[in-house]
Amino acid sequence: MSDFLLEFVEITQTIGDGLFFGTTYALIGIGFSLIFGAMRKLNMTYAAASLAGAYVGLAAFTFVNAPAPVVFLISAFASGLVGGVVYITCFRFIPINNHLAALMASIGALFFIDEIVVHTTDGSPLTFPAMFDDVMFELGPYGIRGDLLFVFAVCIAGTVGLLYVLYRSRLGLATRAVSQQDVAAQLCGIDVHRTNAVTFMLAGLLGGIAGAMTAASVGVLSPLITVPLTVKGLIVSVIGGLGSIPGAIVAGLLVGGLENVFLYFRGVNERDMYVLLLLFVFLVFRPNGIFGSAIERD
Amino acid sequence: MLELRGLSKHFGGVKALDGLDLTVNEGDIFGLIGPNGSGKSTTINLICGVYGVTAGTVHFQGDLMNGKPPHQRLRAGIARTFQNIRLFPNLTVWQNLWVAQNSPRDVSAQGFMPRWFGATRRTREEIAGLLELADLGHKSDELASNLAFGEQRRLEFARAAAARPRLLLLDEPAAGMSRAEIDDLSLRIRRVRDSGVTILLVEHVMELVMGVTEQIVVLNFGHKIAFGTPGEVQRNKDVQAAYLGTSSSESQPLDGSV
């Protein structure tokens, strides 16, 4: 094979891996967008809550040696629960139009959750179980890591499940009704507080999946992941268009793919710099994001 | 069925509504009129729970409604439409009705899993009936935001009816409507009343109020200034003064022929 062809294979392989891993970013971005769409508020705790869920799952792994699928499930549900608690503590009782107070409260909760994790684990990284990490699929010149493929499949399933709930169920309909016209929704008999709480829990569930999948593909769980994951989630939801779920999916894959391109050409030290540059470019030239007009409110 | 006693709402120093007493009986089509800023919309917002009262009580079917949030009042049987249309713009016509129709029983109440996905046949039939009544059957998959103005008004009316209320509050439903549309609306209002729904109509458009209501309360500056049948109210000197300024000597009839 010529050098050129070899390099082409390497680049496409890198991009492919990035796209696979990008689905976790997409999930985090969807979570931000879901809550922003429902309440017009940013929930900064989101990534921290996702990792907290993963830690609960990890506890099950460490103490009762639960198998990996069970660990993932526990992670998802624990994170959903944390989402519900965050709603009650940081959003439920703050007046609907006081955006700054809710933002600050959720930043406070972000550090609080982070500190709990640091104190219970002494801040050291812990091994997280993965699935199919010893499997490698050969596809012509390409190799596909089994664990990454699994992460990809789980994240896609999570996304499809969410879209199904959101667009096909009454619960999803109520969520969308509240986000489009909250006053009218109340006067159609929808309990806005309960619907918002469910939205937070749904988002938390997705976050827990993303958190567990991130940890599974890296192999370790560390409180150091919190901040990068928060930043990536925010970048993805801004690039996709705040409040837009299709936007978050596309942007998640875009960031995941490009991240690996930057990694390939410029190395791990400069990678995040270019990702932030990408955010900058979007903020300057397309501040409403890819699906900017998708914000649903009159 | 609806009893307001000493109902007051103050916004800072502004007394939007000041000590309103009002009784609406089951089966009435009750009119609430008055010049701009007289407290009509405030009254509706107090009844359905969008605002909390400053003083006074709202009783509905004998139950005290004070302090109950809007969704609970809807489940008790009070539905409304809005002066400025408030549909769910990015839901389809059909979904707009589905949300309203099912919410009291399914969406956020009990029935957690069983009927989450898809609508039951009975639900579909009910929605089909509502679409038929609103002449929107052919638009059921259209997004609400793509409807024409008149169609949006009809959809909002149908959405309020979808909750199967006992009392329907209509907040200026005829605003911006043509003569023909107003006649059509009167017909719809009567039809809903005949199906057993009590109606409280807040309206500026005199053709509609005088044609369809049986009793009218007139508000001005947050006070009740007159009460009676449409004929009595039209002849009332205070009412004429309120609508036409202080001098009622060269008064015009309040029959909408202005």
pLDDT at A292: 67
Q: Worst-scoring range by mean pLDDT, A190-199, A287-296, B71-80, B124-133?
A: A287-296
pLDDT digits (tens, 9 = 90+) for B84-120: 889 999 888 988 988 887 544 444 333 343 345 566 6
Give me the residue spans of the domains in chain A.
3-294
Nearest CA in chain A to B85: A184
Please tell me the distance in Å from B36's CA to the nearest CA on chain A.
23
Q: What is the least distance, in Å, from the CA of B235 to any CA of chain A?
A: 36
Q: How far apart are CA B233 and CA A161, in angstroms?
A: 59
The pLDDT value given to residue A157: 93
List the single range of A207-221, B118-132, B226-240 with lowest mean pLDDT.
Answer: B118-132
- Name the more confident of A92 and B246: A92
Cβ–Cβ under 8 Å, residues A63 and A187: no
pLDDT at B113 (0 to 100): 39
pLDDT of residue A295: 46
Mean pLDDT of B46-60: 91
Count chain A–chain B contacts defined by CB atoms under 8 A. 90
Residue with the bigger pLDDT between A253 and A294: it is A253
Task: Give me chain A's average pLDDT, please.
Answer: 88
Average pLDDT of the segment spanning B64-90: 89
Average pLDDT of chain B to the nearest whole number? 83
The neighbour count for residue B104, using CB atoms within 10 Å, is: 23
Domains of chain B: 1-77+165-258 (3.40.50.300), 92-164 (no CATH)
Task: Tell me if residue B151 falls in helix, strand or coil.
Answer: helix
In this prediction, residue B244 carries a pLDDT of: 67
Is residue B169 predicted with pLDDT exceeding 50?
Answer: yes
Mean pLDDT of the region A159-164: 90
Long-range contacts of A257-265 (CB under 8 A, 24+ apart): A257/A15, A257/A18, A257/A19, A257/A22, A258/A18, A259/A18, A259/A22, A260/A14, A260/A15, A260/A17, A260/A18, A260/A21, A261/A11, A261/A14, A261/A15, A261/A18, A263/A14, A263/A18, A264/A10, A264/A11, A264/A14
Please give the single-letter amino acid code of residue A169.
S
Helix (H) or strand (E) segment spanning residue B59? strand B55-60
CATH number of A3-294: 1.10.3470
Task: Identify the residue whose tokens are 């696979």.
Answer: A20
Which residue from B50, B90, B103 is facing A189, i.e. has the nearest CB?
B103
Residue A156 has pLDDT above 80, yes or no: yes
pLDDT (mean) for B47-70? 90
**CA angle, corner B41, sides to B37 and B45, nearest 5?**
140
CA angle at A155 for the pair A153 and A161, rounded to the nearest 5°: 100
Please tell me the distance in Å from B246's CA to the nearest CA on chain A: 38
Average pLDDT over residues B24-33: 90
What is the ipTM score, two decimals?
Answer: 0.79
Nearest C-alpha in A relative to B47: A187
Yes or no, beta carbons of B89 and A168 under 8 Å apart: no
pLDDT mean over B36-54: 89
Tell me the pLDDT tens digit for each residue of B171-224. 988 888 888 888 988 998 998 899 889 999 998 888 888 888 988 998 888 888
**Is the pLDDT score of A273 beyond 50?**
yes
What is the reported pLDDT for A7?
86
Is the pLDDT at A53 greater than 90, yes or no? yes
Q: Is the pLDDT confidence value at A293 over 80?
A: no
A6 and chain B: CB distance < 8 Å anywhere?
no
Per-residue confidence (pLDDT) for residue B246, from 0 to 100:
53
Q: What is the pLDDT of residue B255?
A: 54
Task: Give the helix/strand (H/E) hosting B250.
Answer: none
pLDDT at B254: 54
